[in-house]
């Protein structure tokens, strides 16, 4: 019996050692909380206090063949699952990223890159309904970032077999929703000042194509940002063609942002965004925001004054709103 016990313990220890040696790396946790007080014009807000939270698990390592691997798992408010990203770095080829959930891959990573000190012009709690480019990011996709390009150029290609698919678990599948099935791909390019030749100037562009029976959904965007000293300015244009012949057919967007860092801790910014919906009425939704942010280590205090006109592309008086938001956030 003693010999059998020793044999069992030895086998168990060997198994644990094998599992330990097979690990690709270690996971670390990080997160934060954002506490806000919001005031809406001409509206009873009830309890104006809100709390948003997020956390992520991340890890990285290197396989025996020299390939790098990285994993990020993220959740947002009230522990709601957000996304999982797995990145495999292959020498001489680049990064292969498998994105699951709301991951910000493809053209979605540049839906609005105009500079701001806290949030986009339309993201201060006004529920503007403004439509921006999204590409294949809404479905599980694979994105390739080649590493053989000249310094200063970052290109990415993202592909999904079915852009209507949801975030399926392992051994699962999804898609073919409402007959809008079809694959899709995004291509993005960002050029830094190492190529533009002007210090502080960054230029980017992206396009997306997703197949649907009625006609392809096509998106494109271009932007430029310029930073000098504490001043940063940026402009972006984007367009989305839904490939339909009825209802809302197209969105034309343009926005700009200006930020200024008064010192290492205090910054101010102004953002404006317009989105024209092409249909029988051709309504333009607009959002404007002035923001100020102060940071002190892992804590930040932000104040935003927002204004939106024709929210949800509706011209009724009830769709013109103003608000003020005070935010205190902690990062861990």
| 267-276 average pLDDT score | 98
304: nearest Cα among 134, 116, 148, 136: 116
Q: What is the pLDDT of residue 149?
A: 96
CATH number of the domain at 41-331, out of 3.40.50.720, 3.40.50.620, 3.40.50.2000, 2.40.160.10?
2.40.160.10
CA atoms within 13 A on the CB side of 63: 10
Torsion of the alpha carbons at 294, 295, 299 and 300, rounded to the nearest 10: 30
> What is the spatial distance between Cα 84 and Cα 73, in angstroms, rounded to a whole number?
4
Total H helices, total E strands in the chain = 2, 16
| 236-265 average pLDDT score | 91
Per-residue pLDDT of 135-175, as tens digits, reads: 998 888 999 999 999 999 999 999 999 877 666 777 676 66
What does the angle CA 243 – CA 136 – CA 256 come to, to the nearest 5 degrees? 80
CA 277 to chain centre: 23
> What is the spatial distance between Cα 323 and Cα 304, in angstroms, rounded to a whole number?
8
The confidence band for 18, taking pLDDT boundaries of 50, 70 and 90, is: very low
| 5-31 average pLDDT score | 56
Residue 182, φ and ψ in degrees, nearest 5:
155, 155
Q: What is the pLDDT of residue 11?
A: 41
* Percentages of the chain per state (helix, strand, coil), in multiples of 5: 15, 50, 35
- Contact by Cβ (8 Å): 81, 101: yes
């Amino acid at each position: 019996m003693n010999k059998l016990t020793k044999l069992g313990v030895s086998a168990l220890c060997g198994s644990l050692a094998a599992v330990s040696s097979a690990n690709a790396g270690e996971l670390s946790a990080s997160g934060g909380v954002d506490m806000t007080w919001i005031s809406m014009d001409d509206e009873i807000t009830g309890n104006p206090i809100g709390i948003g939270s997020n956390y992520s698990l991340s890890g990285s390592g290197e396989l025996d063949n020299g390939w790098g691997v990285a994993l990020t798992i993220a959740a947002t408010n009230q522990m709601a699952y957000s996304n999982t990203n797995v990145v495999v770095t292959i020498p001489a080829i680049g990064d292969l990223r498998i994105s699951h959930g709301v991951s910000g891959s493809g053209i979605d990573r540049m839906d609005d890159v105009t500079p701001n000190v806290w949030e986009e012009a339309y993201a201060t709690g006004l529920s503007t309904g403004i439509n921006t480019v999204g590409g294949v990011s809404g479905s599980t996709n694979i994105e390739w970032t080649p590493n053989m390009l000249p310094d200063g150029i970052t290109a990415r290609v993202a592909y999904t077999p079915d852009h209507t698919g949801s975030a399926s678990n392992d051994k699962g599948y999804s898609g073919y929703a409402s007959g809008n099935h079809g694959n899709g791909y995004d291509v993005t390019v960002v050029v830094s000042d190492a190529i533009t030749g002007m210090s502080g100037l960054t230029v980017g562009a992206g396009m997306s194509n997703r197949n649907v029976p009625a006609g392809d959904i096509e998106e494109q965007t271009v932007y430029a940002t310029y930073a000098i000293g504490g001043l940063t300015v940026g402009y972006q244009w984007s367009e989305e063609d839904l490939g339909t012949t009825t209802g809302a057919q197209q969105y034309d967007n343009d926005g700009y942002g200006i930020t200024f860092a008064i010192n290492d801790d205090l910054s101010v910014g102004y953002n404006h965004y317009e989105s024209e919906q092409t249909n029988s009425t051709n309504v333009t939704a607009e959002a404007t925001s002035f923001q100020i942010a102060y940071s002190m280590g892992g804590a930040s205090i932000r104040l935003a004054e927002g204004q939106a006109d024709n929210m949800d592309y509706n011209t009724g008086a009830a769709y013109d709103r103003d608000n003020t938001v005070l935010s205190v956030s902690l990062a861990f």
